[in-house]
Chains A and B, each alone.
Chain A
Amino acid sequence: MNSLYVEGDSFFHRLPPRPKLVLLLLASLALFLTRSPLLLGLAAGAAALLYGSLGIGWRQSWIRLRPILLTIMIVALATLILNSVEDGVTVLLRLTTLMMVAAAVTATVPIGAFIDEVTHAAWPLERLGLVRAADIGLSVGLVIRFVPEVVSRYQQLRQAHQARGLKVRATTMIVPLIIQTLKSADEVAAAIDARGIRGQRQARNLEDSR
């Protein structure tokens, strides 16, 4: 199992998780309060500097950001075609900035610390009897945990296609990828049950447990 967290000693690494998560929250709000290309461009530049300061390296950064960057390009291009050039640029700058800030946070906060912070933030909701704070923290942690795992499974499937001389097509990749990811999620859920991490839960009778 891989992780989005990257060990390092940069300023952002040394910052405690809470201010980083607050920064991400504020950035995601502030970026939608302006449409100024200048301000959005400055924000994108600052985010790029922040991400660059982590010492991840160009190649590794490209590998990590490429899937979401391609998605942003498609969304920006669609906006440009359907609306205007200005709207397309706005979408491109906003989403790219958010991506870099979010990537900087996930690269410098271990999942355990993420879980602790989100659990802490959800405490008021638990006091109101609305949720179990630990469940919210664990859910967010598991989402982050699964991102590199899905990418890794995609790469394994692609290699399996290549090894058998098959052309890699979306139609033959998506179904096994979804099935493998759901199976993996089921196994993690069983591990959470087995280790009593969520306490009392309805046990699940698994078809494949024999």
Chain B
Amino acid sequence: MGQRVIIRFEQAGATFSDRVAVEPLTLTLSERRIGIIGLNGSGKTTFARMINGLVTPTNGRVTVNGFDTSSDGEGVRRQVGFIFQNPQNQIILPILREDIALGLKSRRLSAAAVDDAVDAILARFGIEHLAARRAHELSGGELQLAALASVLVTEPEVVILDEPTNQLDLRNRALVETTLRGLDENVLVISHDLDLIGDFDRTLLFHESCLVADGKPGDVIAEYRKIAAS
């Protein structure tokens, strides 16, 4: 089971030029499985990127286990893995094994240690057979698992997934959902797939750049349906 991670937003918001992407908000996230929902363009992804330090707050501050995302991005990214909406963008090198190893090589591990870690993560997701395959040959579900493996190999405490079941067929969606449910790590999932987050510990709802609901999935999803219908 992953260690408890404390993510704090202290009046933290993000503005791009003159456009507010996330209104300043204050909250603490410590639950193991958190869902983030909202309409397209509501600020979900920016909010999630603020946790990883990919977007630094223009107001206030964001900390992960005490590490400030603005001043200690390296410390934050060691603890927070991020999987993009399109996993193709996550894969940097074409051959899966090389790509997974890349994240470890930057930590200056020995070649043997890198090989062992790559073998272990491939085995964990049951994708050993994909090790020598090229990213463009993988199916949507395999690509999502590959992206997950490339991030989890560095052993982050929490992993953020941006719409992990987006554009997947039913079989691949089931594959990814089953994998996500079996993860030991703390997960934070942005999703339009309400079934996926239905049994999560906490759900946040964003609307027009503001956090408008925060609580158990049932209540927050009901609120989301009202917004979507209006």
Residues of A within 8 A of B (CB): 1-3, 5, 7, 110-112, 115-116, 134, 141-142, 145, 184, 187-188, 190-207, 209-210
Question: Which A residue sits closest to B56, measured CB to CB?
Answer: A203
Distance in Å: Cβ of A151 to nearest Cβ of chain B: 13
Interface string of B12-25 (1 = CB under 8 A from A): 00101100010000
Known: A196-B78, A196-B103, A209-B45. A203 touches B53 (CB 8 A): yes
> Once the chains bind, are B52 and A145 in contact (CB under 8 Å)?
no
CA distance A107 to B230 in the complex (A): 56
> Once the chains bind, are B136 and A194 in contact (CB under 8 Å)?
no
Residues of A within 8 A of B72 (CB): 200
Residues of A within 8 A of B17 (CB): 207
Question: Which A residue sits closest to B82, measured CB to CB?
Answer: A194
Residues of B within 8 A of A201 (CB): 73
Residues of B within 8 A of A (CB): 14, 16-17, 21, 41, 43-46, 49, 52-56, 58, 69-70, 72-74, 77-78, 81-82, 84, 86, 88-95, 97-98, 101-103, 105-106, 132, 134-136, 150-151, 154
Known: A112-B95, A192-B92, A197-B92. A203 touches B73 (CB 8 A): yes
Distance in Å: Cβ of A28 to nearest Cβ of chain B: 25
CA distance A153 to B174 in the complex (A): 31
> Once the chains bind, are A195 and B45 in contact (CB under 8 Å)?
no
CA distance A142 to B102 in the complex (A): 12
Residues of A within 8 A of B78 (CB): 196
CA distance A3 to B46 in the complex (A): 32
Question: Which A residue sits closest to B99, measured CB to CB?
Answer: A112
